[in-house]
């Protein structure tokens, strides 16, 4: 049982002024494994005031100083990686062997990428008689989700601090424990008082209060479409800068000349990672009508390798969903898909055999899904894959682009030029070709209702910078 009773503001841990708390539930055992306090609006105001007071001095520090602090934070994250992985497995349910590599390993890699980036990034450039200066935007409000709790925090906090912004972090109350570990690491790194502040609470109360606050200069938000709309609405009143990374309904377009066994196996893995609780999960598998039967057979075999089980067992590839509410939401989608007439090829809404405790669902595969079906249009956020067919290349592109989302996509083809041509026509922020690997320096973000703005690399850094033009007399 991890019990946190304090929040962090102005370089110190402090006791919140209210008495409300949040229980953290282990999704595999349904046991309470942690408890954190909930801030009050007055506590949130205190954190923003500290960040605002520290903003000018931190914004004027040298790049080398900021890189030095980030390096010390990196050392702390690396030394506590095993603890971080174990903690996140306990609050999210990702299998421990994957948490080591992803939940603990990815934040280290992202932070290291920003330390390296700072060494060569130019915050000033000369254009004609103008000096173009990139300056920190001020107080950055970072609101993060529960599915990759530390990675999403680092993807915002690292570039914010690197840019010279001060930070108020509000992590998800569902999986907040790794944010407290990070805060301890930041404190031990000696970051100046007020530069980083941790506030917990619900989105409707504390999140909205922080977004409305006149002294938060920009908002970086990752979460649901519904919550993102609300953030944008509140921030618009003050014409406040906002970055939104929201949902997705990513299509994997397998062309008729693709290596079908390799493509299908890869797409199933890309759909089921973190039990499907991934914004850029490839949840729509588009195959030529002529190869449907072959693709369905391959997919059924691939899905069978993802039996849900104990996240602490090294053989487990599919853990539970994060909460009872999320489990019921996913089961409802599965029932809806069957009621709409999609062919249930594997899985289903019934509880998995032998798992009477925990928020588990069966890995589910639907065939003959059509674009008008709910399961083809809405983000399910669970291990549910839909196979859809198309007539020709043009039809495949139209189906892939028919969703309201535009976060990610994939293309598979034996012809690299053809794959690139199709990828260029897909409306999404990042597109993998033939299983192309994740690139920490490439921009991550979407279009349409997947949001706007970018994270990672220099693109993520520049979300926290304002551009100033100084005209010089020659």
How many domains are there within the chain? 2
Q: What are the structure tokens assigned to 245, written together?
A: 């990374």
Query: Mind listing the pLDDT tens digit for each residue in 313-345?
Result: 999 999 999 999 999 999 999 999 999 999 999
Domain carrying residue 388: 250-439
- Give residue 147's pLDDT: 98
Taking residue 188's Cβ as centre, other Cβ atoms within 10 Å add up to: 12
Based on the fold, state whether residues 322 and 242 are members of the same structural domain. no
Assign 293 a pLDDT band (cuts: 50, 70, 90). Answer: very high
Express each pLDDT in 175-203 by its tens digit: 999 999 999 999 999 999 999 999 999 99
Whole-number pLDDT of residue 313: 96
Residues 188 and 220 in one domain: yes
User: Which tens digits make up the pLDDT trace of 15-72?
Assistant: 999 999 999 999 999 999 999 999 999 999 999 999 999 999 999 999 999 999 999 9
Tell me if residue 75 is catalytic.
no
Ordered strands of the 218-222 beta sheet: 12-14, 7-9, 196-198, 166-170, 139-143, 218-222, 241-245, 451-452
Q: In this structure, what CATH number is given to the domain that contains residue 343?
A: 3.40.309.10
The pLDDT score that the predictor gives to residue 399 is: 98
Is a pLDDT exceeding 90 seen at residue 474? no
The reported pLDDT for the residue numbered 379 is: 97
Q: How confident is the model at residue 401 (pLDDT cuts 50, 70, 90)?
A: very high
Query: Whole-angstrom Cα distance, residue 278 to residue 316?
Result: 18
pLDDT reported for residue 346: 98
Report yes or no on 445 lying in a domain: no
Assigned domain for 64 exists = yes
CATH number reported for the structural domain that contains residue 114 in this entry = 3.40.605.10
pLDDT at 382 over 90: yes
- Taking the whole predicted model, whether its pTM rises above 0.85 is answered as yes
**Claim to verify: residue 306 and residue 218 sit in the same structural domain:** no
Residues 288 and 401 in one domain: yes
% of the chain exceeding 70 in pLDDT:
100
Which among 91, 173, 208, 245 is annotated as catalytic?
Answer: 245
Q: Is residue 196 part of a domain?
A: yes
Q: Is residue 444 part of a domain?
A: no
| Residue 271 three-state SS | helix
Cα distance between the two ends of the chain: 66
* Same domain assignment for residues 258 and 129: no
405-406 and 447-448 beta bridge pairing:
antiparallel
> pLDDT confidence of 304, banded at 50, 70, 90?
very high
Q: Do residue 154 and residue 16 come from a single domain?
A: yes
Residues in Cβ contact with 1 at an 8 Å cutoff, skipping those fewer than 6 apart: 32, 33, 34, 35
Pair 396, 424 in one domain? yes
Mark whether 328 and 462 lie in a shared domain: no
Domain for residue 107, yes or no? yes
Catalytic residue at 165? no
Q: Are residues 131 and 200 in the same domain?
A: yes
64 shares its domain with 179 = yes
pLDDT band at 380 (very low <50, low <70, confident <90, very high): very high
Shared domain check, 264 and 159: no
Average pLDDT in the chain: 97
Q: Is residue 164 part of a domain?
A: yes
The count of C-alpha atoms lying within 13 angstroms of the C-alpha of 235, restricted to the half-sphere facing its C-beta, is 22
pLDDT band at residue 445 under the 50/70/90 scheme: very high
Is there a single domain that holds both residue 326 and residue 350?
yes
Indicate whether 238 belongs to any domain. Answer: yes
Q: Which of 9, 173, 279, 463 is catalytic?
A: 279
């Amino acid at each position: 049982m991890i019990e946190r009773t304090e929040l962090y503001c102005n370089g110190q841990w402090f006791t919140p002024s209210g008495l409300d708390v949040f229980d953290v539930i282990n999704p595999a055992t349904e046991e309470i494994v942690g408890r954190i306090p909930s801030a009050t609006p007055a506590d949130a105001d205190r954190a923003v005031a500290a960040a605002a007071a520290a903003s000018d001095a931190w914004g004027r520090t040298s790049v080398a100083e900021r890189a030095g602090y980030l390096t010390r934070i990196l050392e702390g994250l690396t030394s506590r990686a095993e603890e971080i992985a174990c903690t996140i497995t306990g609050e999210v349910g990702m299998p421990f062997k994957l948490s080591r590599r992803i939940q603990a390993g990815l934040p280290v890699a992202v932070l290291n990428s920003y330390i390296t980036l700072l060494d060569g990034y130019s915050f000033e450039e000369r254009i004609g008689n103008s000096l173009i200066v990139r300056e920190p935007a001020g107080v950055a409000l970072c609101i993060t989700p529960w599915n990759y709790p530390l990675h999403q925090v680092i993807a915002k906090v690292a570039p914010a601090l690197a840019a010279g912004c001060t930070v108020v972090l509000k992590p998800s109350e569902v999986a907040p424990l790794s944010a407290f570990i990070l805060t301890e690491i930041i404190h031990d790194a000696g970051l100046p008082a007020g530069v980083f502040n941790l506030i917990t609470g619900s989105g409707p109360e504390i999140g909205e209060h922080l977004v409305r606050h006149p002294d938060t200069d920009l908002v970086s938000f990752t979460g649901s479409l519904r919550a993102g709309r609300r953030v944008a609405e509140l921030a618009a009143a003050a014409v406040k800068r906002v970055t939104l990374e929201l949902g997705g309904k990513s299509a994997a377009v397998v062309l008729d000349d693709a290596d079908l066994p390799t493509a299908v196996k890869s797409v199933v893995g890309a759909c089921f990672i973190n039990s499907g609780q991934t914004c850029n999960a490839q949840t729509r598998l588009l195959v030529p009508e002529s190869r449907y039967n072959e693709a369905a057979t391959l997919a059924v075999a691939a899905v069978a390798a993802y039996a849900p089980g104990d996240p602490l067992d090294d053989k487990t590839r599919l853990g539970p969903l994060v909460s009872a509410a999320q489990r019921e939401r996913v089961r409802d989608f599965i029932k809806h898909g069957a009621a709409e007439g999609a062919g249930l090829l594997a899985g289903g809404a019934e509880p998995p055999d032998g798992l009477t405790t925990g928020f588990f669902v069966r890995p589910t595969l639907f065939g003959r899904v059509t674009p008008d079906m709910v399961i083809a249009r809405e983000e399910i956020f669970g291990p549910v894959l839909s196979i859809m067919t198309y007539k020709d290349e043009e039809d495949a592109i139209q189906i892939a682009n028919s969703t309201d989302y535009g976060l990610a996509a994939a293309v598979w083809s034996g012809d690299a030029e053809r794959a690139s041509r199709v990828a260029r026509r897909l409306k999404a922020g990042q597109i993998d070709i033939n299983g192309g690997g994740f690139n920490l320096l490439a921009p991550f973000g979407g279009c349409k209702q997947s949001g706007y703005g970018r994270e990672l690399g220099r693109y993520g850094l520049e979300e926290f910078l304002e551009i100033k033009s100084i005209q010089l007399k020659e």
